Chains A and B, each alone.
Chain A
Amino acid sequence: MITFQREKWADCVDEMREIWPEHWAALALNQNEIALGVDEPKYANGDLAGVLHLVTARVDGVLVGYYYGMLMQHLHYKDAGLMCYTDVYYLQPKYRRGGAGAKFLIAVMESLKVRGVVKLYMSTKVHQDNGALFERLGMKCTDRIFTKMLGD
Chain B
Amino acid sequence: MTIEDVIERETGQVVNENTLLEDLNIDSLEFVDLLLAISNETGKSVPDSKVSELNTVGDIARVAE
Contact A99 B48 (CB under 8 A): no
Contact A3 B52 (CB under 8 A): yes
Contact B28 A100 (CB under 8 A): yes
Contact of B28 (CB < 8 Å), options: A1, A110, A133: A133
Q: A-B contact count, CB below 8 Å?
A: 61
What size tier do the contact residues of chain B reach? 20 to 34
A126 located at the interface, meaning its Cβ lies under 8 Å from any Cβ of chain B in the complex: no
What size tier do the contact residues of chain A reach? 20 to 34
Main secondary structure, interface of A, reads helix
Query: How many whole Å from B29's CB to the nearest CB in chain A?
Result: 6
Main secondary structure, interface of B, reads helix
Contact A97 B25 (CB under 8 A): yes
Contact A99 B30 (CB under 8 A): yes
Given the known interface contacts A1-B55, A136-B33, the answer about A101 and B28 at a Cβ–Cβ threshold of 8 Å is yes
B32 located at the interface, meaning its Cβ lies under 8 Å from any Cβ of chain A in the complex: yes
Contact B28 A99 (CB under 8 A): yes
Q: Which parts of A96-112 form the interface with B (CB within 8 Å)?
A: 96-103, 106-107, 109-110
The 6 closest A-B pairs by CB, nearest first: A99-B31, A98-B22, A97-B22, A102-B28, A98-B21, A101-B28
Show the binding face of A for B, using Cβ within 8 Å.
1-4, 96-103, 106-107, 109-110, 113, 132-133, 136-137
Show the binding face of B for A, using Cβ within 8 Å.
20-34, 36, 48-49, 51-52, 54-55
